[in-house]
Amino acid sequence: MARYMLIMRASDEAQQAFAESGLDFDEMLATMGRFNEAMIDAGVLVAAEGLEEAEKGVVVDYSGDEPVATDGPYGETKELFNGYWILDVESVDDAVAWAKKAPLAGPGMKAEIRRIPSIDEFPQDNEWVRKERAWRERTGQL
């Protein structure tokens, strides 16, 4: 099994259209809840979170000599990251199959799928890998 992150993204236009769609919040929760429940029942869901609106976020820009933090909303975004699922599945093809079933998706929305490497894939003789492994063991993550 391998872990994959399904990152939900939407263009500014798709975000606006969704906001103006009038979709009832309870129905949105029910729709997402049914999808999450299907992944739980299949034994593949590790974690899932939605995110607050971009207007309430902060961006730290590392382009200059010193990092600069800017409150949202952000100008000229092409896509916003809205939420994610972490799945534990056999292959990227399985992750793609789940992403294709995501509810409340449509024009201007995308799911990016990225594999999450295991700590076992990093050099085990590295001091920082050993420290992270110890922390994960202490916190019950390994």
pTM, entire model: 0.78
| pLDDT score for 77 | 63
Write out pLDDT tens, residues 57-102.
Answer: 787 888 899 998 888 766 556 677 888 999 999 999 999 999 999 8
Condensed to tens digits (0 to 9), the pLDDT of residues 35-62 reads 999 999 999 999 998 887 777 878 788 8
Mean pLDDT for the stretch of residues 123-128:
93
CA 33/CA 27 separation, integer angstroms: 9
pLDDT for 36 equals 92
Q: Supply the mean pLDDT for the chain.
A: 87
Token output for 74? 């952000």
pLDDT given for residue 75 in this prediction: 58
Rounded Cα distance between 76 and 117, Å, is 32
pLDDT of residue 85: 93
CATH fold of 2-138 reads Alpha-Beta Plaits (3.30.70)
pLDDT of residue 39: 94
At 106, the pLDDT band (50, 70, 90 cuts) reads: confident
pLDDT (tens digit per residue) in 4-43: 999 988 887 887 888 888 888 888 888 888 999 999 999 9
Q: How far apart are CA 127 and CA 129, in angstroms?
A: 6
